[in-house]
Structure formats: C-alpha cells, structure tokens
Amino acid sequence: MTPTTQPLFWRDKTLPYIELRKILDGRKVRYAPHSHLEWSLGAILDGQSEFICADRLYSVECGTLVMMNPTVVHACNPLQNSPWAYYMMHLDKNWLGCLLCNAGITNNTKWRDTPIDTLAIPRFYKEFVSVCASLMTVALSSAEKQLILQDYLVSLFSYMYSCAEKPKPALPLNTLYRVANYLNQYCLEDTSIELISAEFGLSTGYMTRTFKRQFNMTPHAYRLNCRIQLTQQALKAGNTIVQVAYDAGFSDQAHFQRVFKQRVAATPNQYRRTVC
C-alpha cells in the first residue's frame, strides 16, 4: 500500500489529455512557485492552506476548489500544523477548448482563461470530488470516465463563464512576454541571463526585477520551471529518470530530484507511477 504521504498519480493512455493527483497527507509538502502548460483544477479535501495565484493571495480550506490558468505562476502550501489533503487535475487546454466549443459554451475552440481562482460552491466541490473518485476506480471503463468528466466540466464552465465579465482585448506582446517566450523556447540552453537581457536591450538588474513582478519568479526560475515541464512529459512517455535528467540539462541527479519535487510535490519516480 502506498504511504499516505506519497502522491498517487492517475493516467489513462486512452485519455491522454488528463492527469490526476491525490495526496492524503501533505503536511510536509512545500511547493516552490511554478506554472503548468495545462489548465488545472484542485479540491482541498482536508485542512487549510495559503494559495498564491499570480499576485493574488487566498486562504483556502476543505470544501474549496482552486483553479490555475495555463502558464500562471502559483503555489499552494498548508498552514503550519494544519492537515492537508487534496486532488489536483491537469487538463490539456486545447482539448478543453474543443469540448467547450462543441458544447456550445464558447464560439470557437481557442482556449479562454477562466475568470476566477477559487470557488466554494458545495455542489461543484462535491461533484468534482466524485469525478476524481470515478476516474481513479477500476470499476468504470475509460469511456464511462470520459463521459463523467465531460459532463462535469461542461456544467462547471457554463457557470464560470456566465458569471464572468466579457474578456478584455488582448494587449500587445510586451518585451517581458517576449523574454518569457524566449526562455520557454530555449529553456534547454544555458545562455546567461546577462546575455539574454542584452539581446532584448535591457539591463540585467532591470529585467530581473520587472520579470519577477510580472511572472512572480526570476528569469532563471522561469527557465527551470520550463525544463521541469519537459521532464514531466518525458517521464510520462516512459523515459528513464537518468536520461530525462540528462536531456534536460541536469548533470547532478540530486539537483534534478530536488528541483522536480519542489515544483511537482513528488519525486520523479513517484511521478511515473500510475494508478489505473
């Protein structure tokens, strides 16, 4: 039996757009600020924690749903001496965009960020917990699980988008976002931050300060986070931990293990394990 302090990961090869994690005793879990490529939805099952999403801070507890839009920096950590258990689901934004369009909730398949960070409506919380339990059970087929998940998401997004203001027009891509795109595209390269800042016509100190204000992490931490996202995909594809670490530029295994756990709340080996 897996210890309650270790996370359980559920994946299904026939449903590649979803990943689900459950942890029953997360009192010693500590997340560094990080982001995901996917849209994420979590449920606090027990205890209280502080949830930072972009520059917004929340106190959340059992009965609360938390949501993170793709690439938004966030962290959720338990309060001192508080129990902490949770579900966390990651969904491919392109698949989700198609689902919402096909259901008539949006006019096209392009992803649209959700307008809220937390939700404490009992119906949506209880239904999400039930969906997670259904996904992790062996009593249902993949097709049945997909229908349960889709029905819930359509209901949830119908509510969230109906309560939201009309989306604001997109702003032109500023220099900081161009820096972030560069770091993401070339995250496996070790170009110094000094050279990158010079390439974009900025001083290193100014770029680091303003980048951290914009993304809630330094350029170096942002690049490291992008590397970890790549290692997650490689581990799910079945590559060995040693090869994944090497390919991502981690020559020191201990450093890779530490950085990975800070952002995923699991070791690479724990992350590879799947509950079917």
pLDDT tens for each residue of 61-97: 999 999 999 999 888 878 877 888 999 999 999 999 9
List the one residue out of 270, 219, 264, 227 whose CA is nearest residue 32.
Answer: 264
Fold designation for 8-163: Jelly Rolls (2.60.120)
Fold designation for 175-272: Arc Repressor Mutant, subunit A (1.10.10)
Q: Rounded to an integer, what distance in angstroms lies between the CA atom of residue 72 and that of residue 68?
A: 7
The pLDDT confidence band at residue 52, using thresholds 50, 70 and 90, is: confident
Domain boundaries, the chain: 8-163, 175-272
pLDDT, mean of residues 206-232 = 89
Q: What is the mean pLDDT of the chain?
A: 88
The pLDDT confidence band at residue 2, using thresholds 50, 70 and 90, is: low
Judge contact between 73 and 54, C-beta under 8 A: yes
Q: Write down the residue that tokens 């992803």 correspond to.
A: 111
Q: Which amino acid is at 4?
A: T
144-192 pLDDT per residue, tens:
999 999 999 999 999 999 875 444 444 455 788 788 889 988 999 999 9
Q: Rounded to an integer, what distance in angstroms lies between the CA atom of residue 77 and that of residue 219?
A: 23
pLDDT value of residue 167: 43
Token output for 103: 């259901």
pLDDT value of residue 144: 98
Q: Rounded to an integer, what distance in angstroms lies between the CA atom of residue 79 and that of residue 126?
A: 23
Chain centroid to CA 178: how far?
22
242-256 pLDDT per residue, tens:
999 999 999 888 999
Q: Rounded to an integer, what distance in angstroms lies between the CA atom of residue 35 and that of residue 57?
A: 16
